[in-house]
Chains A and B, each alone.
Chain A
Amino acid sequence: QGGGSAVIDMENMDDTSGSSFEDMGEMHQRMKEEEEEEAEGETGAGEEEDGEFLGMKGLRGQLGRQVADQMWQVGKRQASRAFSLYANIDILRPYFDVEPVQVRARLLESMIPVKMINFPQKIAGELYGPLMLVFTLVAILLHGMKTSDTVIREGTLMGTAIGTCFGYWLGVSSFMYFLAYLCNAQITMVQMLSLLGYGLFGHCITLFVTYNIHFHSLFYIFWLVVGGLSTLRMVAVLISRTVGHTQRLILCGTLAALHMLFLLYLHFAYHKVVEGILDAFEGPNMPPFQRVARDIPVVSNAVLNTTAKAIALTL
């Protein structure tokens, strides 16, 4: 009996392991047969059959366990290979290979439209800048919600802010990439993500300023100037990479519309969406807009508003 390994010996003694499917099947089979024999009342014969059954079961159990063990090994190898292939963050490493001066230069360039549209403009395919800009936009949205006069229920609003910004960046990029594919534009997905991400720099500036100084006319000026500059930049880059008037029109019109409308939405409708969520939570008993003055706007907004008014008057 010495040829077997210790594993097999222990498994012979331990006959209640459920580690292979055959074991479970045979356990159920044995229990069923025990029940049948108890019903018949032949316990002696049952024990005899149990003894032999154990021996047979032992052999088939070992076979079952070996098969189960091999299946486990193969499965584990496949899973670890798939994991190291897909969850390897080194795939993203080339897109984060930037220097701070490059990031700063690209941020400033995103506001300057290019003049030369006959030659395909270079787009850097990096993801660090756009990702940081999206997070900055989320932070600015939260800051804006805090300084506006609405009651903040932070849990849902944080999720809404993150969902809106990331949804815009990823969703509109994918949609524009699809359109670019239809219109035969020379642009890759990473470049599209990068272009749109850097276009959010204008949004960040506009929202940061207008959330602190609440003037609608100021917002419209910023919307046109800052939003317009970043839109022109993106549009010019896209035009330089597309051939054909209709295609250029489709692509650039869609991008300009989505970009500018997103800024409008963030400034005006986002608060309505937020208040709608709060209404849904607060129910019919509460007044629709619970305007609670916070000590921050009282102090800082008054100061900023009067300063802005003074500046506007002197100009």
Chain B
Amino acid sequence: FPGLADVSVSQDIPVEGEITVPVGSHSPDEDYSTLDEPVKDTIMRDLKAVGKKFVHVMYPRKSSTLLRDWDLWGPLVLCVSLALMLQGGSADSRDDGGPQFAEVFVIIWFGAVVITLNSKLLGGTISFFQSLCVLGYCVLPLTMAMLVCRLVLLAGAGTISFIIRLLVVLAMFGWSTLASTAFLADSQPPNRKALVVYPIFLFYFVISWMILTFTPQ
């Protein structure tokens, strides 16, 4: 073993010593270590980032903030709240809401992954998580539509409430699709925008349909 020729093991190596290996765990304080700041600062920073992205979704301008600092907190919060609000919507009282929660989760994430793969295969320049981030944040209008639908359904379930819900869901569906298109279509070659927009349209259509056909107990 030529590589071990210069290894010498002497008998008086002390057995005691540091068990923790001091490699990188004591980073200097002037480094960008956020380990020592108060928890409130960390949470507020992340909350502000998420809030800024929500504002970008509601007023879609062509800024690249949403794309550059992607995070998945917002999509997770939106997905969970939408799934929670869609529970209890079947007439079977023994349904404990299990499949519905998992179904919404799986549809949103699986659908977002498929759309991202599709846009990458069509020659898009956006990265995987950036696309997931945008698609997840653009579920915000539909979550608001779900909230409105639940409130409207508290008042009654007649034809008028159906028309109101239809209009609200249609409007929010259009807003979601436009918002996500504004961010994602720029990363595609110009003549292929329709090919990328169609799966996004289908994706938000399925979610809108789930919201519209929700009838509470």
- Is B98 a contact of A155 with CB atoms below 8 Å? yes
Known: A89-B121, A135-B202. A153 touches B95 (CB 8 A): yes
Instruction: Scan residues 169-204 of chain A and give those whose CB is less than 8 A from a CB of chain B.
Output: none
Pick from A3, A96, A128, A296: contact of B213, CB under 8 Å = A296
Stretch of B4-12, B60-68, B129-137 contacting A (4+ beta carbons < 8 Å): B4-12
Q: Which residue of A lies closest to B22 (CB)?
A: A10
Pick from A3, A97, A282, A295: contact of B7, CB under 8 Å = A3
A152 to chain B, nearest CB (A): 7
Instruction: Scan residues 56-110 of chain B and give those whose CB is less than 8 A from a CB of chain A.
Output: 90-92, 94-95, 98-100, 102-103, 106-107
- Is B206 a contact of A139 with CB atoms below 8 Å? yes
B149-181 Cβ-contact flags toward A at 8 Å (1 or 0) = 000000001110010000000000000000000
A146 within 8 A of B: yes
Other contacts beyond A13-B13, A58-B13: 8, CB < 8 A? A13-B17, A66-B4, A128-B122, A135-B114, A153-B95, A154-B103, A296-B162, A296-B213
- Is A89 a contact of B103 with CB atoms below 8 Å? no
Q: In the complex, what distance in Å separates the CA atom of A51 from the CA atom of B210?
A: 71
Q: Please report whether the interface of chain A is mostly helix, strand, loop or mixed according to DSSP.
A: helix
Name the A residues within 8 Å of B39 (CB-CB): none
Name the B residues within 8 Å of A128 (CB-CB): 118, 121-122, 195
Name the A residues within 8 Å of B7 (CB-CB): 3-4, 8, 59, 62
B interface residues with partner A (beta carbon < 8 Å): 1, 3-4, 6-11, 13-15, 17-19, 21, 90-92, 94-95, 98-100, 102-103, 106-107, 114, 117-118, 120-123, 157-159, 162, 191-192, 194-195, 198-199, 202, 205-206, 209-210, 212-213, 215
Q: In the complex, what distance in Å separates the CA atom of A93 from the CA atom of B117?
A: 10
A136 within 8 A of B: yes
Name the B residues within 8 Å of A92 (CB-CB): 121
B97 to chain A, nearest CB (A): 10
Pick from A14, A54, A98, A132: contact of B21, CB under 8 Å = A14
A40 to chain B, nearest CB (A): 23
- Is A146 a contact of B209 with CB atoms below 8 Å? yes
- Is A295 a contact of B191 with CB atoms below 8 Å? no
Name the B residues within 8 Å of A97 (CB-CB): 123
- Is A286 a contact of B100 with CB atoms below 8 Å? no
- Is A154 a contact of B199 with CB atoms below 8 Å? no
Q: Which residue of A lies closest to B205 (CB)?
A: A139
Q: Please name 14 pairs of A and B residues whose Cβ atoms are closer than 8 Å in the assembled complex, sorted by A.
A: A4-B7, A59-B7, A132-B198, A135-B199, A142-B209, A152-B213, A153-B99, A154-B100, A154-B210, A155-B102, A286-B92, A294-B213, A295-B162, A296-B212
Q: In the complex, what distance in Å separates the CA atom of A239 from the CA atom of B10?
A: 83
Q: In the complex, what distance in Å separates the CA atom of A10 from the CA atom of B18?
A: 9
- Is B202 a contact of A136 with CB atoms below 8 Å? yes
A266 within 8 A of B: no
Name the A residues within 8 Å of B13 (CB-CB): 1, 12-13, 58
Name the A residues within 8 Å of B92 (CB-CB): 151, 153, 282, 286, 290
Pick from B1, B3, B99, B191: contact of A100, CB under 8 Å = B191
- Is B195 a contact of A98 with CB atoms below 8 Å? yes
Q: Which residue of A lies closest to B194 (CB)?
A: A100
A59 to chain B, nearest CB (A): 6
A27 within 8 A of B: no
Q: Which residue of A lies closest to B215 (CB)?
A: A294
Q: In the complex, what distance in Å separates the CA atom of A10 from the CA atom of B14?
A: 11
Q: In the complex, what distance in Å separates the CA atom of A62 from the CA atom of B21?
A: 17
Q: In the complex, what distance in Å separates the CA atom of A12 from the CA atom of B157?
A: 75
B202 to chain A, nearest CB (A): 6
A251 to chain B, nearest CB (A): 31
Q: In the complex, what distance in Å separates the CA atom of A139 from the CA atom of B6?
A: 69
Q: Which residue of A lies closest to B166 (CB)?
A: A296
Name the A residues within 8 Å of B100 (CB-CB): 154-155
Q: In the complex, what distance in Å separates the CA atom of A99 from the CA atom of B194?
A: 9
Name the A residues within 8 Å of B202 (CB-CB): 132, 135-136, 139
- Is A58 a contact of B9 with CB atoms below 8 Å? yes
Q: In the complex, what distance in Å separates the CA atom of A178 from the CA atom of B1?
A: 56
